Amino acid sequence: MAEWSLSQLLSSLHEDIQQRLAVVRKSFNHPGTKGDASENVWISLLETYLPKRYQAAKAHVVDSLGNFSQQIDVVIFDRQYSPFIFTYENETIVPAESVYAVLEAKQTADASLVAYAQEKVASVRRLHRTSLPIPYAKGTYPAKPLIPILGGLLTFESEWNPALGLSLDKALIADLEDGRLDIGCIAAHGHFFF
């Protein structure tokens, strides 16, 4: 009987994601279809492995003043304590207060995609967020501090060689404010934290 190997399990998961993204690239010629399928690979992965109190979905984010973000490929939000505002025909709108991370998912990373992802992340981080005191039987808990929203990038490949080198770093430092990309995965090459 073969021994269990955590590293082999995780390596197999990585190979599966990489293969699924490769199939999307080879199988779909229409850019919109290819984009939707790529997003679905990442959303499926996150929905499988995130704790059930969180949800991953393509969504718009709205604040309490009625301002909306751009459409975000992958939003990770609190599904347990802050339900979505509206969902219809696979279009989801979530409150800004429930968002933990926003991720742009595309096939290939390059400088223009990083700038585009930074713009999308900024459209969420600039929204107004609130936190209110929480009443309970013996009084009131103070309002919780707002959590930072992580911004990220998910791709299959990279135009750069090396994929995770100085060219990526140069693109990432172009916006270290509201559009900052904190995390990312280039499935064929690895991941980054910034």
According to the model, what pLDDT value does residue 193 have?
A: 95
Catalytic site positions: 73, 104, 106
Domain membership of residue 150 as a residue range = 62-72+100-130+144-194
> Is the residue at 158 inside a domain?
yes
Asked, for residue 34, whether it belongs to a domain, the answer is no
Task: Provide the domain count of the chain.
Answer: 1
- Nearest-angstrom CA–CA distance, 105 and 98: 20
Q: Is residue 91 part of a domain?
A: no
119 inside domain: yes
Predicted pLDDT at 173? 97
For residue 163, is it within any domain? yes
Residue 139 maps to a domain: no
Helix H, strand E, coil C: the string for the chain is: CCCCCHHHHHHHHHHHHHHHHHHHHHHCCCHHHHHHHHHHHHHHHHHHHCCCCEEEEEEEEECCCCCECCCEEEEEEECCCCCCCEEECCEEEEEHHHEEEEEEECCEECHHHHHHHHHHHHHHHCCCCCCCCEEECCEEECCCCCCCCEEEEEECEECCCCCCCHHHHHHHCCCCCCCCCCEEEECCCEEEEC
Residue 153 lies in a domain: yes
Taken in order 154, 158, 164, 165, the sign of the CA dihedral is negative
pLDDT band for position 134 (cuts 50, 70, 90) = confident
Residue 4 within any structural domain of the chain? no
Q: Tell me: the pLDDT tens digits for 50-107?
A: 999 999 999 999 999 999 999 999 999 998 878 667 888 888 999 999 999 999 999 9
